């Protein structure tokens, strides 16, 4: 699968994990978005259901086992190079997830993983769609302010 300069869009899944009025984010270890904070997630594998992928990606990146719940959104993520060629193209499917087991630990392509309060999020300069889906997650969990 060619992630950079793909011939077709790739399907990605995300796990919005909210607990104690905080959201769990990972700092990406690899492009795209290397060294930036984002929600745990990754690319759907052939033969895998999207909810299964959210469980797998959350476990691989955070060490946590989650249960996917409500679909929070479907987003386009298209990143272009300096010549305006499509360098990355993802269709992202994001689920509100609940932790059911595990100990928090950065793994896979996550350089770091930690919980953030709503008040800390603006400092992170998250992608617009990432901030939107996190906001929706807080609202669904009754943690919106």
Number of domains composing the chain: 1
Residue in 7, 60, 112, 120 annotated catalytic: 112
Asked whether residue 125 is domain-assigned, the answer is: yes
Residues 6+ apart with CB under 8 A from 12: 41, 42, 43, 44, 77, 90, 91, 92, 93
Asked whether residue 126 is domain-assigned, the answer is: yes
Count of CA atoms in the C-beta half-sphere (13 A) of 77 = 25
- The pLDDT > 90 percentage for the chain reads 79
Looking up residue 64, the CATH number of its domain turns out to be 3.90.79.10
Asked whether residue 19 is domain-assigned, the answer is: yes
- Tokens for 139, please give them: 């609202």
Give pLDDT tens digits for 105-123: 988 777 899 999 999 999 9
For residue 67, indicate whether it is catalytic.
no
In this prediction the pTM is 0.90
Residue 26 contacts residue 59 (beta carbons within 8 Å): no
Asked whether residue 91 is domain-assigned, the answer is: yes
């Amino acid at each position: 699968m060619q992630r950079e300069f793909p011939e077709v869009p790739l399907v990605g899944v995300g796990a919005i994990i909210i607990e104690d009025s905080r959201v769990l984010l990972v700092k990406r270890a690899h492009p795209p978005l290397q060294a930036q904070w984002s929600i745990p997630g990754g690319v759907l594998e052939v033969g895998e259901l999207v909810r299964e992928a959210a469980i797998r990606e959350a476990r691989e990146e955070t060490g946590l086992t989650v249960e996917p719940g409500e679909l929070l959104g479907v987003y386009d993520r298209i990143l272009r190079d300096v010549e305006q060629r499509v360098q990355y193209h993802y269709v992202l499917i994001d689920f509100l997830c609940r932790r059911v087991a595990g100990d928090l630990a950065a793994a896979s392509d996550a350089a770091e993983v930690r919980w953030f309060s709503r008040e800390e999020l603006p400092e992170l300069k998250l992608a617009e769609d990432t901030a939107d889906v996190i906001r929706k997650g807080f609202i669904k969990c009754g943690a919106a302010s």
